[in-house]
């Protein structure tokens, strides 16, 4: 009987590369279960990419979303969705914020509530215990490896099984008939607060409508925890950050981002759960 291996597919190209390698090289050893946790604030291109990988690589991806009980002390559950039914207006994210407040640098609870916990709840529903979870982190991203990896059953195939760095991942996708149709600064949730200021400013200049959700969250849930909260570093509001961007120019920001890929920040091309 094959050992079950759960695979956290974050929706980025690195995660897609890992999923392909596991499916083609290790499916005879492991009973692979690929899981994508949708926050409702991913770019549409991310959802299309997950769906395309699923079909092209025969992954049978399980799509899950967080189900939040508003009662204090009640944990996060999950529900199964698919490409067509997945939330696209931030519904799971808003449910978390309405209960626990706005996530930011001092309260970084969004990844655990929207990714880790719903995935764990899904696995629990299968009756699995003492399982392993594969995470898509490359050899050039080892600072992102969890300090509790062994304790939590986390493995990193692109480090330990088939070492891959960013160049390897790019070369792989250049040979494919499709890839993630997003630029470096656009990956992960549309306006993730973990992104560098340069990336956030560029998005504000080129796609200001992507900030509508965060502005709405600040207006409606800023004081959930009896203390004023904002998403962005330095206690900046969404409108403050957009205002800062107005004195920038997109060309200069693109050059700055190109020189500093921000690869080891909390938000690179994608955001995995299980990083605690």
User: Domain with 148 in it: what CATH number?
Assistant: 3.40.50.620
- What is the reported pLDDT for 184? 86
- What is the reported pLDDT for 228? 75
- What is the reported pLDDT for 258? 82
Tokens linked to 198:
């340069």
Residue 268 lies inside a defined structural domain of this protein: no
Residue 172 lies inside a defined structural domain of this protein: yes
To which H or E segment does residue 30 belong?
strand 30-37
Residue 129 lies inside a defined structural domain of this protein: yes
**For the chain, how are helix, strand and coil distributed in percent, rounded to 5?**
40, 10, 45
Q: Distance (Å, rounded) from C-alpha 275 to C-alpha 117? A: 12
Q: Distance (Å, rounded) from C-alpha 181 to C-alpha 49? A: 8
Residue 31 lies inside a defined structural domain of this protein: yes
Residue 240 lies inside a defined structural domain of this protein: no
- What is the reported pLDDT for 84? 99
Domains in the chain, number = 1
Q: Distance (Å, rounded) from C-alpha 186 to C-alpha 197? A: 13
Are the beta carbons of 63 and 80 closer than 8 angstroms? yes
pTM for this entry: 0.94
Residue 155 lies inside a defined structural domain of this protein: yes
Q: Please give the chain's pLDDT, 276 residues, in tens.
A: 899 999 999 999 999 999 999 999 999 999 999 999 999 999 999 999 999 999 999 999 999 999 999 998 999 999 999 999 999 999 999 999 999 999 999 999 999 999 999 999 999 999 999 999 999 999 999 999 999 999 999 999 999 999 999 999 999 999 999 999 999 899 879 999 999 999 999 999 999 999 999 999 999 998 887 777 899 999 999 999 999 999 999 989 999 988 664 444 455 555 777 876
Residue 223 lies inside a defined structural domain of this protein: no
Q: Which domain holds residue 149?
A: 3-183
Residue 215 lies inside a defined structural domain of this protein: no
Q: Is 82 helix (H, G, I), strand (E, B) or coil?
A: coil
């Amino acid at each position: 009987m094959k050992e079950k291996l759960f695979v956290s597919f974050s929706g980025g190209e690195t995660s897609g590369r890992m999923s392909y390698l596991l499916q083609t090289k290790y499916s005879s050893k492991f009973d692979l279960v690929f899981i994508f946790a949708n926050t409702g604030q991913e770019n549409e291109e991310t959802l299309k990419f997950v769906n395309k990988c699923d079909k092209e690589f025969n992954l049978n991806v399980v799509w899950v979303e967080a189900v939040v009980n508003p009662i204090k002390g009640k944990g996060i559950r999950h529900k199964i969705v698919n490409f067509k039914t997945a939330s696209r207006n931030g519904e799971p994210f808003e449910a978390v914020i309405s209960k626990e407040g706005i996530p930011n640098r001092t309260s970084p609870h969004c990844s655990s509530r929207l990714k880790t916990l719903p995935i764990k709840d899904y696995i629990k529903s299968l009756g699995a215990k003492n399982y392993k979870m594969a995470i898509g982190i490359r050899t050039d991203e080892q600072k992102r490896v969890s300090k509790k990896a062994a304790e939590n059953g986390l493995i990193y195939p692109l480090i330990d099984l088939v070492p891959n760095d960013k160049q390897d991942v790019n070369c792989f996708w250049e040979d494919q008939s499709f890839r993630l149709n997003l630029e470096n600064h656009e990956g992960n949730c549309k306006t993730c607060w973990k992104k560098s200021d340069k990336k956030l400013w560029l998005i504000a200049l080129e796609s200001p409508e992507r900030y509508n959700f965060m502005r709405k969250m600040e207006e409606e849930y800023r004081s959930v925890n009896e203390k004023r909260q904002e998403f962005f570093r330095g206690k900046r509001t969404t409108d403050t950050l957009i205002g800062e961007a107005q004195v920038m120019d997109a060309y200069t920001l693109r050059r700055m981002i190109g020189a500093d890929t921000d690869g080891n920040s909390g938000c690179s091309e994608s955001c995995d759960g299980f990083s605690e």
